[in-house]
Chains A and B, each alone.
Chain A
Amino acid sequence: MILYILKRLGFGIPVVIGVSILVFLLMALIPGDPALALLGPYATEENTEQIREQLALDQPLPHRYATWIGNLARGDFGYAYSVDRAVAEEVAERAGATLLLAGAAFFICVVLGIGVGVVAAARQYSWADRLLSLSVMVGISTPAFWLGLVLIVVFSIQLRWLPSGGMVSIEGGGSVFDILWHLVLPAVTLGFIAAAVVARFVRTQMLEVLRQDFIRTARAKGLSEGRVIWGYALRAGIVATLPVLGLQAGFVLGGAVYVETIFQWPGIGRMLVTAIAQRDLLLVQGGVLVVAVFYVLVNLLADVLQHALDPRIER
């Protein structure tokens, strides 16, 4: 098992390097003077000179990449002029908010997606199944940014139950309860939509599993239907679902951009949008890199988990 984890980590390293090369190339291939491109509207004579030297911009590409990676390894992601602080600081501060939102949404996605998928499969063609399948169809077709608006209109404006944006109340905010209170709507928005894809996959997967011989054996043993479905069938069906959950982690991280924008959640997604609008490419670069590396790690975890749940898988 430990050997397997190490092996997967080994496979992860080239992926992370590939990701960094891709991000580097994206920024390096902008036509024109790279220093001016990176600095955009913040280019003064002084910092143009500084960044040329710092990133070895007059050197050939491989050299530039090595310099850039060297800087990253020291935690130097450059300076974000649009917010007037180091990129690393800005990203680190916002990463927490995004992780909280994405984590909560992912939790909803897993619980709701698997729950709906299993129930729909266990009662295939019943009214419950039809209703759930219809909701899932609407779910995978709904734009996250629109659902966010609908929830705000209903729960914040009409019913006044939940706050419409921000992460803490302006007055007396900041307690754990206060943050959770603000988390509900954005997490539900993102989680619901992410859950739809999972539910659809789990339903198909469970229908496949429920026709297997070992399910008949489980019933022949006299196990309760609950045990047969949630114990035996789901235990077998969950393995193939893990890669889909990995994909949905990416969807949640990406979708956070919309949801953070709608709910003014102070995370990396909203930071990226603002940074793009203000043409602060160094900040964009740092944010994209951190999110991508995190996503690679999540997929590694999904892979290891899949191996742990099904030792027959050898890859």
Chain B
Amino acid sequence: MKAFFRNPLTVIGCLLFGGLVGLALAAPWLPLADPNAADLRNRLAPPGSENHLLGTDTLGRDILSRLVWGTRVSLAVAAAATLVAAVIGSLIGLLAGFFRRWIDTLLMRGVDMVLAFPYLILALAIVAVLGPGLLNALIAIAIVNIPFFARTVRGTTVSIARMPFVEAARLGAQPRRRILFAEVLPNVLPVIIIAMSTTLGWMILETAGLSFLGLGAQPPQADLGSMLADGRRVMLVHPHVGLLPGVAILILVIGINLIGDGLRDWLDPRLEGGAQSAPGAATAVTAKTAAAGEPEPEEAAPVLEVKDLRVEFGEGRKPVVAVDGVGFSLRPGECLGLVGESGSGKSVTAMSLARLVASPPGRITRGAISIDGVDTLRASNEAIRRLRGAAIAYVFQNPFDSLHPLIPVGRQIDHTLATHTTLNSGERHKRILDLLDRVALPDPKATARALPHQLSGGQCQRVAIAMALANNPKILVADEPTTALDVTVQKRVLDLLARIREEHGLALLFISHDLGVVRAVADRIMVLRWGRVMEEGDATKLIRSPKNPYTRKLLESSPRLGKGPKQDLGLSRPEIDPV
């Protein structure tokens, strides 16, 4: 319950709604004027008049008093309609979702028919048949909202009926009716309550709407809607008569909607996690970072230098430190392998280079990074953007999820070309086909037109590599590029990466949890754990005589390094694979 009131908006909602409901309930005992006492000498008094705080209406009746009494009527009708719709709709949903088969088909087809109408039009048709009046409006509004409950409840019932405890009850000798109401219903109840909180607001708007059209409350009875219609006639000179009832409706419904949001977050946190956040364009850099230093003018100067990098996640006094004091450099043609378990900080390190760590929650709090002479921690977002996909390119773990599912892969490559080059569309097209050919995709033309789901995982990863190579990057970061692939495909992709590195003189940063894979491609290896460097050194030496006990453990857990046919996959001598 505490969690429910932690959101300030929910509290505001409770105050707004609770306040109005309290006033409406207490109406008979409040010192209010008689809402129906006409006083023709005092017609249309403005708000703030003596004895009439909010003025009087066309017949000189006290608006404040009428608002309170009108709210009472509107609330009563809306609440009753909600209850009726909830009971009937939930029952339909429960029966359809629990018994399935023909009961489901019959009930839900009926519901679909009702949904085929714009709901207000159907409500009008029902009122037309029943005749104007508040009770008939209530019935009409209840009926048009039944489908919403039926559908929502059916969906939940179907998934709950499949759960083990229900299955178990079914296997037992319990009558089905008992299972439905004793086992299923209590679990569906939160969903029904959330749906009720959603519809109560609609119901108030719809009741008021029908009354506004003259089809709901009939004089002398008045609800907020009919008061609004009343005021509309004198709107030219005395707008307050019509506007005030609308304000009351607005406050009531805002209150309900705020409470509804709070209820939903509280009862069903899956629906919208307040904590989820969309990362910005570049990782935030906080605190002071050291200058990256001038690149040395010698021939084999490093294209990438990282010094004392520290990356933290989360706010507050105790942020999680994902990377702490990592540093390395990479020269053209060189390959460094970053190894560690998940959570070791290897991916975060890689993402930090082009400031791709999701931010929030991540931020770089210390260190210096230089990519091709650009100090990325001090560069503007725009300068970083110009590096990405040009000087430094990435290949990610899951090829399916890393490509846009609905844009043809050729166009996705085209976008990075168009961003970083001045080639015209014909030249870009040629280059795309050339790139796809270079990563050994069989039919470049057809592949360029394909969507990711029409390609295999290995093909998608080749596309991703082609995309990364589009602008001849100096650094290629491959973050677990083979982990999501089949073993046979893994080998081919690794071969491809090794070949490309050789052909282009690329600096390759290769990240994997698997020392066996890393060993096959890397010249040097860096072992990370808990964001810190455990050991670093020449690949062959490190594998042969690991100094750090953690490296030894990693080696033991790597299946490819045991004796037997798996020991060497022949990866260190890249060949062009035939596909």
A residues with a Cβ closer than 8 A to B are 15, 18-19, 21-23, 26-27, 29-30, 121-122, 124-125, 137-138, 140-146, 149-150, 152-153, 157, 204, 206-208, 210-214, 216-225, 227-228, 231-232, 235-236, 239, 250-251, 253-255, 257-258, 261-262, 272-273, 275-277, 281, 284-285, 288, 291-292, 295-296, 299, 309-312
Q: Is the CB of B276 within 8 A of A150?
A: no
- List A contacts of B394 (CB < 8 A): 217, 220
Residue of A with least CB distance to B204: A143
Q: Is the CB of A236 within 8 A of B235?
A: no
- Among the interface residues B113, B125, B239, which one has the most CB atoms of the partner chain A within 10 A? B125
Q: In the complex, what distance in Å separates the CA atom of A315 from the CA atom of B366?
A: 52
Question: Which residues in window 237-270 of B have CB below 8 A to A?
Answer: 239, 242-243, 245-246, 249-250, 253-254, 256-258
Q: Is the CB of B253 within 8 A of A257?
A: no
- Contact of A253 with B118 at beta-carbon distance under 8 Å, contacts A22-B113, A211-B276 already known: yes
- List A contacts of B242 (CB < 8 A): 149
What per-residue 1/0 map shows which CB atoms of B380-421 lie under 8 Å from chain A? 000001111110011010100111111100000001100110
Q: Is the CB of A213 within 8 A of B402?
A: yes
Residue of B with least CB distance to A124: B278
Question: Which residues in window 89-142 of B have CB below 8 A to A?
Answer: 109, 112-114, 116-122, 124-129, 132
- List B contacts of A15 (CB < 8 A): 112-113, 116
Residue of A with least CB distance to B113: A18
A123, chain B: closest CB distance, angstroms:
9
- Among the interface residues A21, A220, A262, A292, which one has the most CB atoms of the partner chain B within 10 A? A220
Residue of B with least CB distance to A138: B254
Residue of A with least CB distance to B257: A141
A1, chain B: closest CB distance, angstroms:
14
Q: Is the CB of A216 within 8 A of B356?
A: yes
- Contact of A219 with B464 at beta-carbon distance under 8 Å, contacts A225-B281, A239-B406, A296-B116 already known: no
9 pairs from A and B in contact (CB 8 Å cutoff): A19-B113, A137-B257, A149-B243, A207-B278, A216-B402, A220-B388, A221-B415, A223-B415, A273-B215
Q: In the complex, what distance in Å separates the CA atom of A222 from the CA atom of B415?
A: 9
Residue of A with least CB distance to B127: A276
Q: Is the CB of A146 within 8 A of B419?
A: no
- List A contacts of B256 (CB < 8 A): 141
Q: Is the CB of B278 within 8 A of A281?
A: no
- Contact of A211 with B420 at beta-carbon distance under 8 Å, contacts A217-B464, A277-B132 already known: no
Q: Is the CB of B403 within 8 A of A214?
A: yes
Residue of B with least CB distance to A288: B125
- List A contacts of B228 (CB < 8 A): 143, 145-146, 149
What per-residue 1/0 map shows which CB atoms of B210-249 lie under 8 Å from chain A? 0011110000000001001000100110010011011001
Q: Counting CB contacts under 8 A, is B272 at the interface? A: yes
Q: Is the CB of A292 within 8 A of B235?
A: no
- Contact of A26 with B125 at beta-carbon distance under 8 Å, contacts A214-B404, A217-B403 already known: yes
- List A contacts of B257 (CB < 8 A): 137, 140-141
Residue of A with least CB distance to B239: A153
Q: Counting CB contacts under 8 A, is B467 at the interface? A: yes
Q: In the complex, what distance in Å separates the CA atom of A204 from the CA atom of B406?
A: 20
Q: Is the CB of B126 within 8 A of A26?
A: yes
Q: Is the CB of B243 within 8 A of A153?
A: yes
Q: Is the CB of B120 within 8 A of A150?
A: no
Q: Is the CB of A221 within 8 A of B407?
A: no
- Among the interface residues B129, B258, B387, which one has the most CB atoms of the partner chain A within 10 A? B129
Q: Counting CB contacts under 8 A, is B277 at the interface? A: yes
Q: In the complex, what distance in Å separates the CA atom of A229 from the CA atom of B388?
A: 17
- List B contacts of A153 (CB < 8 A): 235, 239, 243
Q: Counting CB contacts under 8 A, is B195 at the interface? A: no
Q: Is the CB of B356 within 8 A of A219?
A: yes
What per-residue 1/0 map shows which CB atoms of B445-461 lie under 8 Å from chain A? 00000010100000000
Q: In the complex, what distance in Å separates the CA atom of A272 from the CA atom of B26?
A: 38
B198, chain A: closest CB distance, angstroms:
10
What per-residue 1/0 map shows which CB atoms of B415-435 lie under 8 Å from chain A? 110011000000000000000
Q: Counting CB contacts under 8 A, is B70 at the interface? A: no
Q: Is the CB of A213 within 8 A of B401?
A: yes
Q: In the complex, what distance in Å separates the CA atom of A212 from the CA atom of B209?
A: 42
B45, chain A: closest CB distance, angstroms:
19
Residue of B with least CB distance to A37: B129
A132, chain B: closest CB distance, angstroms:
14
- List A contacts of B467 (CB < 8 A): 221
The one of A26, A214, A221, A299 that contacts B401, using a Cβ cutoff of 8 Å: A214
Q: Is the CB of A122 within 8 A of B464?
A: no
- List B contacts of A295 (CB < 8 A): 116-118, 121
Q: In the complex, what distance in Å separates the CA atom of A207 from the CA atom of B114?
A: 32
- Contact of A309 with B214 at beta-carbon distance under 8 Å, contacts A214-B401, A216-B396, A227-B415 already known: no
Q: Counting CB contacts under 8 A, is B19 at the interface? A: no
B561, chain A: closest CB distance, angstroms:
30
- Contact of A235 with B404 at beta-carbon distance under 8 Å, contacts A26-B129, A153-B243, A222-B419 already known: yes
- List A contacts of B387 (CB < 8 A): 222
Q: Counting CB contacts under 8 A, is B354 at the interface? A: yes
Q: Counting CB contacts under 8 A, is B279 at the interface? A: yes
Q: Counting CB contacts under 8 A, is B201 at the interface? A: yes
Q: Is the CB of B235 within 8 A of A281?
A: no
B414, chain A: closest CB distance, angstroms:
11
- Contact of A137 with B254 at beta-carbon distance under 8 Å, contacts A222-B388, A239-B406, A277-B214 already known: yes
- List A contacts of B276 (CB < 8 A): 207-208, 211
Q: Counting CB contacts under 8 A, is B63 at the interface? A: no
- Contact of A312 with B453 at beta-carbon distance under 8 Å, contacts A213-B402, A220-B354, A295-B118 already known: yes
Q: Is the CB of B121 within 8 A of A254?
A: yes
Q: Is the CB of A223 within 8 A of B416?
A: yes
Q: In the complex, what distance in Å separates the CA atom of A141 from the CA atom of B252?
A: 8
Q: Counting CB contacts under 8 A, is B518 at the interface? A: no
B155, chain A: closest CB distance, angstroms:
15
Q: In the complex, what distance in Å separates the CA atom of A122 from the CA atom of B278?
A: 7
- List A contacts of B232 (CB < 8 A): 149, 262
Extra contacts besides A143-B253, A218-B404, A276-B215 (13): CB < 8 Å: A26-B126, A146-B249, A149-B232, A217-B396, A220-B356, A232-B407, A254-B118, A273-B215, A276-B128, A285-B125, A288-B117, A292-B122, A299-B116
Q: In the complex, what distance in Å separates the CA atom of A216 from the CA atom of B279?
A: 9
Q: Counting CB contacts under 8 A, is B205 at the interface? A: yes
B481, chain A: closest CB distance, angstroms:
13
Q: In the complex, what distance in Å separates the CA atom of A144 from the CA atom of B385?
A: 45
Q: Counting CB contacts under 8 A, is B528 at the interface? A: no
B7, chain A: closest CB distance, angstroms:
13
Q: Is the CB of A210 within 8 A of B385?
A: no
Residue of B with least CB distance to A18: B113
- Contact of A284 with B250 at beta-carbon distance under 8 Å, contacts A125-B277, A217-B464, A253-B121 already known: no
- List A contacts of B451 (CB < 8 A): 311-312
Q: Counting CB contacts under 8 A, is B525 at the interface? A: no
Q: In the complex, what distance in Å separates the CA atom of A216 from the CA atom of B122?
A: 46
- Contact of A214 with B250 at beta-carbon distance under 8 Å, contacts A276-B127, A311-B451 already known: no
Q: Which 7 pairs, one residue from A and one from B, show the smallest C-beta to C-beta distance?
A: A254-B120, A146-B246, A222-B389, A210-B278, A250-B118, A222-B388, A141-B253
A301, chain B: closest CB distance, angstroms:
14
Q: Is the CB of B405 within 8 A of A236?
A: yes
The one of A225, A262, A292 that contacts B116, using a Cβ cutoff of 8 Å: A292
Q: Is the CB of A221 within 8 A of B416?
A: yes
- Contact of A145 with B212 at beta-carbon distance under 8 Å, contacts A137-B257, A220-B356 already known: yes
The one of B121, B243, B245, B279 that contacts A150, using a Cβ cutoff of 8 Å: B243
